[in-house]
C-alpha cells in the first residue's frame, strides 16, 4: 500500500450520501502519515450533482490549496 509513503498534504472530499466511498476515504485517511483532512459534504452524492454541493467542494479545495500550496517568499530585490 503506497498511502503511508505519501508526504504531500492531502485533502479528501466525499459526499455524505456516498456511504461506501466514505468508508474507503476513512481507511485512506488512517493510512496516510502526512498532513491530511477528510471533509464530508452534507447532502452530496458521488458526483456532487446536488445543488450547491460542487460549489462547496470548490470552496474547500480552494482554501486547502491556498493554505498548502502558497508561493514561497521571493528574495528581496
pLDDT at 71: 67
* Whether pLDDT at 61 is above 90: yes
Look at the alpha carbons of 30, 59, 61, 25 in this order and tell me if their dihedral is positive or negative.
positive
* Whether pLDDT at 75 is above 70: no
Convert the pLDDT of each residue in 10-57 to its tens digit.
999 999 999 999 999 999 999 999 999 999 999 999 999 999 999 999
Residue 1: pLDDT band with limits 50, 70, 90: confident
Q: What is the DSSP string of 1-54?
A: --GGG--S-EEEEEETT-HHHHHHHHHHHHH--SSEEEEEETT--TT--STTHH
* Whether pLDDT at 76 is above 70: no
Amino acid at each position: 500500500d503506497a498511502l503511508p509513503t505519501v508526504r504531500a498534504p492531502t485533502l479528501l472530499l466525499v459526499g455524505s450520501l456516498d456511504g461506501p466511498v466514505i468508508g474507503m476515504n476513512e481507511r485512506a485517511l488512517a493510512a496516510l502519515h502526512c498532513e491530511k483532512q477528510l471533509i464530508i459534504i452534507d447532502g452530496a452524492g458521488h458526483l456532487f450533482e446536488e445543488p450547491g454541493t460542487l460549489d462547496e467542494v470548490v470552496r474547500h479545495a480552494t482554501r486547502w490549496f491556498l493554505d498548502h500550496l502558497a508561493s514561497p517568499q521571493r528574495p528581496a530585490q
